[in-house]
Amino acid sequence: MTTKRESYDNEILNLRAFYLVLLKKIWLVPVVAVLGAIVAGIIYFLANVVYAPARNYVTESTLYIYFAYDENKRSEVDFYNAYTWNILVKAEDSNLEVRTEYNILDRIMENLEAAGYKEGVDITREEVKASVNADIPSDIRVMIFTVSNPDRELSGAIADAANDALVEYGKANYAFTHIELLGRSDTKLELIPDRMGVAVTFGAVLGAVLACLSLLFSKAMDDAAYVPEDLERRYNLPVLGVLSKEGEEEPSFFRNELLLTFKEKLKTEKNIVIISADDKNGAETAEAVVKRLKNVIGNGLPEGCPVFKPMSLPGNDNDSASQLSSMDGAIIAVQMGKHNGAMTEHLISLLKKLGCKVCGMVVTDADMKLLNRYLGL
């Protein structure tokens, strides 16, 4: 019965290996979080300090509104809210239920001119409308009238002019008995809350989340192999051994496994070609693998070690078919952690087309710490 082979692009995810590899990159999360905090802090500083608009001077007045009695409704007038007052202050009230010839904005401009601010020269109606705001926090009888303007003296002058205009409006409009000014604050520079800490925290959290998502996505889409079992499931070929990186001592556990599989799988083969999926040009990687194999095996195969010959990818050598015909088989070297899944699958397919026996695979440049954690050694 033929065993169904998994392709590198649809294989079942090896969660243990996946998370072990992911943990090796976990240091990126705090690094990106710190970078995110720095970037967010710089953006906040530039937006709120370097290139921030001019801060306003604020003057607040409190007015008490005495509403007249409505004979028709048999109750006091109660349809004046913050929205209504802002329309009344900033424009004509001809669109409201209560209409009057008295216009608050006109009276504010007159009062300002009397105070020495000439309309069209020192101040405009648009500037006044942009500076004032009427608010009714809860009780419709209490109005908080706020003036915000970059000019300190002008902010106070607008507040005084508006207060006088509103008091006069209370006398002129039959909806009120009168409007009383309860108090006016000193003109102060507006306080802008410092949210640098919030910005930095947000940047750090956003950076950490993006780093985690990027790591998960990159590893989920990674076609590299990190453990021998993944290669065997993916290509339905035996992994004959694992070689550590050049300059590192081969652990006895993995050396013994390599010797055992070579004795079992290469009983009759005398001439083996080594081909690396990572050799895009030439056979440098394959030559390094052959050298590493000889060093690791040493005299571990007393009955005779096959002759290993490095070879470039068949597509890079027109004479590859004749070279392969003189060999008893091929071993494919796959570098651990390299993105070579598609090339490895292509190489296996080509060797089968050329009639070359694929004896197995060898994992090179292996991360022994990762494999030890994976196997629980």
How confident is the model over 106-132, as pLDDT tens digits?
899 999 999 999 988 889 989 999 999
Q: What are the tens digits of pLDDT across the range 233-250?
A: 888 899 988 888 887 888
pLDDT for the residue numbered 62: 94
pLDDT single digits (tens) 78-109: 677 888 888 888 875 444 454 456 788 889 99
**pLDDT tens sequence across 301-352:** 656 678 888 888 887 877 777 888 888 889 999 888 887 888 888 888 988 8
Per-residue pLDDT, 220: 65
Query: CB count, 10 Å around CB of 83?
Result: 10
Q: What's the pLDDT at 279?
A: 84
What local confidence, expressed as pLDDT, does residue 31 receive?
A: 92
CATH of domain 225-375: 3.40.50
DSSP-derived 3-state class of residue 45 = helix
- Host H or E run for residue 243: strand 239-244
Q: Cβ-count burial of 196 within 10 angstroms (0-12 exposed, 13-18 middle, 19+ buried)?
A: middle
Task: Please check the confidence at residue 18 and state whether its pLDDT lies above 90.
Answer: no
**Mean pLDDT of all residues in 35-44:** 93
**Cα(171)–Cα(67) distance, rounded to whole angstroms?**
11
Pairing of strands 271-276, 239-244: unpaired
pLDDT band at 11 (very low <50, low <70, confident <90, very high): low
Q: Write phi, then psi, for 172 (nearest 5 degrees).
A: -85, -25
| Nearest-angstrom CA–CA distance, 69 and 280 | 94
Backbone angles phi, psi at 138, to 5 degrees: -150, -65
Q: By three-state DSSP, how is residue 276 classified?
A: strand
Distances from the Cα of 222 to the Cα of 20, 60, 62, 239, 338, angstroms? 14, 62, 66, 20, 9
H/E stretch holding 184: strand 176-184
HSE toward the beta carbon, residue 180, CA cutoff 13 A: 6
pLDDT of residue 163: 93
Dist. CA 331–CA 356, nearest whole Å = 10
Element (H, E) at 21: helix 15-24
pLDDT tops 90 at residue 164? yes
Determine the pLDDT at residue 72: 67
Higher pLDDT, 355 or 76: 355
Query: What pLDDT is stored for residue 323 in this prediction?
Result: 82
Domain ranges of the chain: 57-189, 225-375
Prediction pTM value: 0.55
Using a pLDDT cut of 90, give the percent of the chain over it.
Answer: 25
How much is the mean pLDDT over the chain?
83
Estimate to the nearest angstrom the gap between the alpha carbon of 315 and the chain centroid. 41
Comparison of pLDDT for 95 and 219, the residue scoring more: 219
Q: For residues 137 and 282, give the distance between their C-alpha atoms in angstroms, rounded to a whole number.
A: 80
The pLDDT value recorded for residue 48 is: 84
Contacts of 40 (CB under 8 A, 6+ apart): 199, 200, 202, 203, 204, 206
Assigned architecture for domain 57-189:
2-Layer Sandwich (3.30)
CA distance linking residue 249 with residue 57, whole number of Å: 74
**Amino acid in position 333:** A
- Reduced to 3 states (helix: H, G, I; strand: E, B; else coil), residue 342 is helix
